[in-house]
Structure 1
Amino acid sequence: MKKLKIRTKMMLWYTLLTGILLAVFLPVLYHTIAATLLDSEKNNIGATMSIAESSIEFDNGHLSIGDELKAPANTFIIIWDKSGQVIYANTQKNLFYTIQFTEGNPYRIYYNNEDWLVLDKTVQENNHVVKIRICSSIDKMEAVLNRTLFLMLVVIPLFLLITIIGGLFIAKRALRPISKITDLASEIGHGDLSKRITGIESMDEVGELANTFNEMLASLENSFEKEKRFSSDSSHELRTPVAIIMANAEAILAATPGADPTTAANTILAESHRINTVICQLLMLTRGIEGKYQIQLEEVSLPVLTDAVLEQLQEEAASKVITLVNETADVTVQADQSLLTQMMLNLVGNAIKYGKPDGHVWVKAEREGDGCLITVSDDGIGIMPEELPLIFDRFYRADKSRDRSGSGLGLSIVKWIVDMHGGKIELESTPDQGSIFLIRM
């Protein structure tokens, strides 16, 4: 059963359920029809008995039968007096005279290859005793029941056959979109993520599945493209410092005339630090994505944290003649202090790196509802509108000609830190006018 296709299972269950319903319903229907017809026959002979009883007349001690007594078709009436003398009969069939007289409810007998329904009754009036017997053929009723039974026996297999064929057709038609999804999944298995499910217009569960599958494919394609770009960018980021390290190491080993071992060693050390920074930041992001990084929440004073961050970056800002301004209100927030410090260092450092000489970097924080709003803004070179959606991607740089001293992971880490705290980050930027990062936590 487990190896059968869904449409086969649907057809089998549908047929089994139909068979069970027919097996229960049809016998009940047959017995109901039989009981109804038999009750009708009993009512008929009861009515005939009433007519026969009312037609008996006693006049001056003499018993007579009125002229109104007439028996329906296939119904016989026999009337005896107390001596057993037949005083009325519309049949000569001996059996109707010889069977035991049994008063009460109608009973059935089988005579001359026919089924009969018999009703006996004794009538007494003025010391006169009269016995009445009504016999009615129920062969027509039996014929109706036999035809009904025959039709049921013919209809059940035919209906089950129609159920099987119809079930297969309906299941195949209903599951046709599933077959499309299966074929598409097979094509995707060969690496083509650009495929989409088309031609399904229904709004039922299958249509919802197709839409969900298409959304999943779009998300997968986007993720794969990001991963491909990440692999390319990370390879490029790591290849450049490794090439520099190798070149300087080879120069030292070759003792090339004019080579300065101290300069080469310093270069190797600097590039090694850069590789180490990239690796550490990648490790942090990877642990965060895998859910292995546990944040330690505590009460953090934003003015104190901002002062520490700006003091740490003051020398770098002074080298570019950029003024750092702390405008944070007296606001505290529940956060991981080390991660929040890293977030502020990345944002302010990024603003300094892409700022203009004699420019400014402002850091603000204020209470907003139950949370707080942190903004880091600058009056630097800004970002083009088409590049804003990609700015938080790993290794993405809006201007490939800019300073490449960083790892290209700073804003990705900022986004991850904000997400870890359940916050939201937005970016507003205008080319040549500056950028504003808004963090709500």
Structure 2
Amino acid sequence: MNSALALAAITTTIRFVLQRELDPPQRSGVAAGVMVTTRHPSKLAHSDGNPQRGINVYCYQVTPQATGNVAALPTRRSGDSLMARPTAAVDLHYLISCYGDDESLEPQRLLGTALGSLTATPVLTTAVVAKAVDRYRDDDAIGPLLREVPLEMGREPARLSPLTLSLEEMSNLWGMFGGGNESVLSVAWLASAAVITSDDHVRVAPPVLIRTVDPRPTGGPLLESVEAAGPGPTAVVERATVVLRGRRLLGPDTRVVIGPVEFAPGPGSSDSEVHVGPLTGVPAGVRSVQVLHRSPPGPGEQPSRTLASSNAVPLLVRPKVTAETTATDVVLTLDPPLRKGQRVTVLLTHRSGGGPDTPADLSFDLPRVATETTEQKVPRSDVPEGIWLVRVRVDGVDSLPERIGDSTFGRPVVDVGATP
């Protein structure tokens, strides 16, 4: 059963299976007027003078069903769109309690009837669920809900089977219910499985209009390394040029994807070496680099298709930062611009000035970037007096300060005086 009401529908169906065995014509040994309820066990009625009689169905535990949940994976494509509605398969653990006049053995007679009816109905088929819904359709408490229950049973109907609980487990179970009630004659039963399916809409691809055969050599592009053009560190900055090395890099229509941006190979590119640059629009951080081979657009404005793709290689894109102070803030200007969702940490290293208690280093984790921007601010009151070397860390990649001499980083710096 796939509806979000599956748990309630299964409980109601078990109640119906038991109740129909107690309705007229009466079976031998079962008193008239016995009702099946779904109360909490602590609320079962007892009266010393005139004992109440009945059968109670209570779902005391819900556990995930590993088999059903594994069968439902995966439900999403790599782009986070749904390929199937997410489902959760669970097993329902029930306590069937029978109570009545102990002198006339009513609990035992009711339990015998319950065991017989549950054993005779091991599968909650669509027909049984439909009869249960029809039986309790006018019930003030659950009738409005049952009218919304779909009768389709999904992958397979729920199945009923007995559970074995030791005396200690049964005692602990009744102790958990509380309420001061003494335990009554009970048996545990399992309903497996209830499948809950979300109401999310699934995107279905349109049918294929034209099928084409496009022969091409086996083996796609293989990317071995990505590095900055010319001498220097392997990390790159905005508007730098990078060199990709590998095998079979050029195809009919080659594109190089760096982060969210696509580039065409530059002049001088070959099958083993591709030049890309200048890098514009690539956000700072660790970005993946991949080579794609695409087909030319087809007739009738058919879009091009990706024929082959290389492995992905990481590339560090360093941010650049300049800093200045205003009356209220230390203002940082970053290049490339920050994109929504990026994380920024401001790193300050004390150079000179200030007092003896001035810390050697400070760091400020800023809120995630809400909109594209080139500016971030740190309240001036949070930075002690002195001259500070400024760096920023964007998505895990630090900016590189400029050197003064051979072994000293000297820029960018910001001079923070006393707060006005």
Measured against the shorter chain, the TM-score band is under 0.3
Higher helix proportion? 1
If asked which structure has higher relative contact order (CA below 8 Å, sep 6+), I would say: 2
Structure with bigger gyration radius: 1
Name the structure with the higher strand share: 2
